[in-house]
Structure 1
Amino acid sequence: MDNSYIFITGASSGLGEATAKLLSKQYNVVLNGRDEDRLNSVANDCIKNGNKVETFSFDLVRAQEVAEQLTNFLIKKNIEVFCFIHFAGMTEVLPISKTKYSVGLEVMNVNYFSATEIISTLLKKKSNHKALKNVILVSSIISEGGKKYQPHYCASKGAINSLTHALACELAPSVRVNAVSPGSFKTRIVDTVFVDQTEDWNPPTLLAPGDVEDLAKVVRFLVSDDSSYITGQIINVDGGERFPKF
C-alpha cells in the first residue's frame, strides 16, 4: 500500500481542497491543481496528517496533453492510483447569445474531457499497472434543473452524469464508478457566479447551509469499502436544495 494513492483533481481550493485534507488522514494522495502556490499550501497541510502527498501541477484546460504528462509523472514517481476523484471545474457566466466556442471548449476540457483522458490513462498497465478500482466524478444539481447564463457548465455536468452510468457498465466488476452531485456550497466558483451574494450566504436548502466538509465526508464514504456494493450512482449532496421550501 506504500505506493498506492488517491488522485484528486481540483485540490487547490473549495470542495477538492476539503476532500484532500480529509482523505489525507487515511490515504496517500496525489493533488492536482493549476494554481501551484495554492496547491503547495494544501499539500503542506495534508502532509501534517502523516501520509504521503505528491503534487501534479497541471492546467486541465489542456486536456489533450494530460495523458502523456500524467503517464510520465506516475512512472517517475512509481505511483499506483487506486482511486480517482475529479473535482476540477470551471464555469462561464454569459447568456448563450454571447458565449464563444473557445470558452465552451475550455469548460468541457476541464469539466469533462480531462476526466475521460485521466481515466483512460489510469486504466493502462503501462502507466498505472491496472491499479484503478474506484472512480468518483463530480456533477452538480444544476445538471438536471439547469441554470441561466451557464449553458456550457450545465452541459458538462450532464455529460458527467452520462459518463458515470456508461463507465459503471463498462468497467464493472473491477472498477466502481459513482458521482456526487453537490448543491450550493460556499466556494470560489460560487463566488464567481454570485458576486452580490457572498456576504449574506443563504442558499435555498431545506437544511442549514452546508459546509465543504459535508460533501467531503460523502466522498470519503464512496472511497471506503463501506460503499463496495455501490456503482453507477449519482448522489445528491444538497441539503434538500432541489425541493421547494413552504
Structure 2
Amino acid sequence: MGQEYILVTGATSGIGAALAQGLVRDGVPVVACGRNRERLDMFMKLGGGGITLSYPFDLTDTAHLEGSLTAFLADHACNIRGFVHCAGVYPIAPLRMMSDADAHDVMDVNLFSAMAILRALVKKRVNHGALASVVMVSSINSYRGASGFTAYCASKGAVDAFVRAAATELAPRVRINAVRSGIIQTHGTDEQTKEAQAIFQQPEAHGYLLGNGSTDDVVSMIRYLLSERARWITGQCFTVDGGLTAH
C-alpha cells in the first residue's frame, strides 16, 4: 500500500481550508481538492509537517469525477484513509427564479460529487481498503427552512439521509458521519445577505446562545470524527451551532 492521506474537498476556503491547513501543520498527509488552481497553489506553498497533494477538479462534473480520482490515486501511488466533504455552493434565489442548471449544480457539488468520490474510495482495486472514516459537512438548514435557499436546504437534507443510509451499507469497515454547522463567518458568508451580516453583528439576538462561532469550532468536531476516538460512532449527524437549535 502507498502513503495514506486525508482527502478534503473545498480545501481552498472556509471550513475546508481551515481543516486542511490544520492537518498539514500537524504533519498529516492531505490531498487538497478544489476547482481554483491558483488557491490550491497558494495552499501548497503554506508548508507544514505534512505531505500535500493538489487535486484540482470542478465538482459539478460528476460524470468524470470517479474516473479522474481513480487515475489521480494511481498516478500518485496514494490511498485515502479519511475523506471530508467540505465543498458546497449556496446560490441565493427565490424558488420562482431558481434555474434547473443552478439547482443541479447545488446537488452535484453538495451531494452527488461526494457519492462519486465514495464510489471510487470503497473499491478495493482503487483504494486498497484504506478508507476508514468519512465526514460530510452538512448544515442546520438540513432541517430548518431558509427563504431563498430552497436548493441548498434540500441538498443538505439529502446529505443527512445519505449519511444514515451509507453508514448501514459501509459498516463495519468504514464509518460515515455528518457535522451540521450553524452559520460561520467566512469569505463566502461575507458575500451573503444583510440578514447574515445582522447575525454576525448580534448573534445572541438571533438565537446563537454562545455568540459567533469560528471555522475551528467545526473543524474540531470533524477531526474528532475522523479519529479513532470516534471508533464507535457512525451514521450520526452532529450539530455545532452555538445553541441555536436548543430552543
- 1:230 partner SS: coil
Query: Deviations 1:163-200 (Å, cap 9, x if unpaired)?
Result: 00001111110100100010010123322322575496
User: Judging changes above 3 Å, is the alpha-carbon distance between structure 1 residues 28 and 155 closer, same or farther for their aligned structure 2 residues?
Assistant: same
Alignment of 1:185-196 (within 5 A): 185-194=184-193
CA contact (8 A) 1:91 1:189 kept: no
In the aligned structure 2, how far is the partner of 1:238 from the partner of 1:23? 23
What's 1:232 paired with? 235
In the aligned structure 2, how far is the partner of 1:209 from the partner of 1:111? 24
What's 2:100 paired with? 101
In the aligned structure 2, how far is the partner of 1:136 from the partner of 1:94? 28
What's 1:221 paired with? 224
CA-atom RMSD in angstroms: 1.6
Query: Deviations 1:124-174 (Å, cap 9, x if unpaired)?
Result: 122211211111011100110111111110000000000000011111101
5+ long unaligned stretches in structure 2: none
What's 1:164 paired with? 163
In the aligned structure 2, how far is the partner of 1:167 from the partner of 1:207? 32
Query: Deviations 1:218-240 (Å, cap 9, x if unpaired)?
Result: 11111111111111110111111
CA contact (8 A) 2:23 2:50 kept: no
What's 2:30 paired with? 29
5+ long unaligned stretches in structure 1: none
User: Judging changes above 3 Å, is the alpha-carbon distance between structure 1 residues 176 and 98 closer, same or farther for their aligned structure 2 residues?
Assistant: same
CA contact (8 A) 1:5 1:29 kept: yes
TM-score norm. by structure 2 comes to: 0.93
- Alignment: residue pair count: 242
Aligned residue identity for 1:232: G
Aligned residue identity for 1:39: L
- Identity across the alignment (%): 37
What's 1:206 paired with? 209
Alignment of 1:1-246 (within 5 A): 3-24=3-24, 25-45=26-46, 48-194=47-193, 198=197, 201-203=201-203, 204=206, 205-244=208-247
Q: Which moved more, 1:130-139 or 1:153-162?
A: 130-139
CA contact (8 A) 2:138 2:181 kept: yes
In the aligned structure 2, how far is the partner of 1:169 from the partner of 1:44? 39
Instruction: Note the C-alpha offset of 1:2.
Output: 6.5
User: Judging changes above 3 Å, is the alpha-carbon distance between structure 1 residues 28 and 95 closer, same or farther for their aligned structure 2 residues?
Assistant: same
In the aligned structure 1, how far is the partner of 2:178 from the partner of 2:195? 30
- 1:82 partner SS: strand
TM-score norm. by structure 1 comes to: 0.94
In the aligned structure 2, how far is the partner of 1:198 from the partner of 1:9? 26
In the aligned structure 1, how far is the partner of 2:245 from the partner of 2:31? 33
In the aligned structure 1, how far is the partner of 2:105 from the partner of 2:35? 14
In the aligned structure 2, how far is the partner of 1:230 from the partner of 1:94? 36
CA contact (8 A) 1:5 1:79 kept: yes
User: Judging changes above 3 Å, is the alpha-carbon distance between structure 1 residues 119 and 93 closer, same or farther for their aligned structure 2 residues?
Assistant: same
In the aligned structure 1, how far is the partner of 2:227 from the partner of 2:65? 27
CA contact (8 A) 2:121 2:127 kept: yes
Q: Which moved more, 1:36-45 or 1:212-221?
A: 36-45
Q: Which moved more, 1:196-205 or 1:74-83?
A: 196-205
Query: Deviations 1:60-87 (Å, cap 9, x if unpaired)?
Result: 0111111111111000000100111000
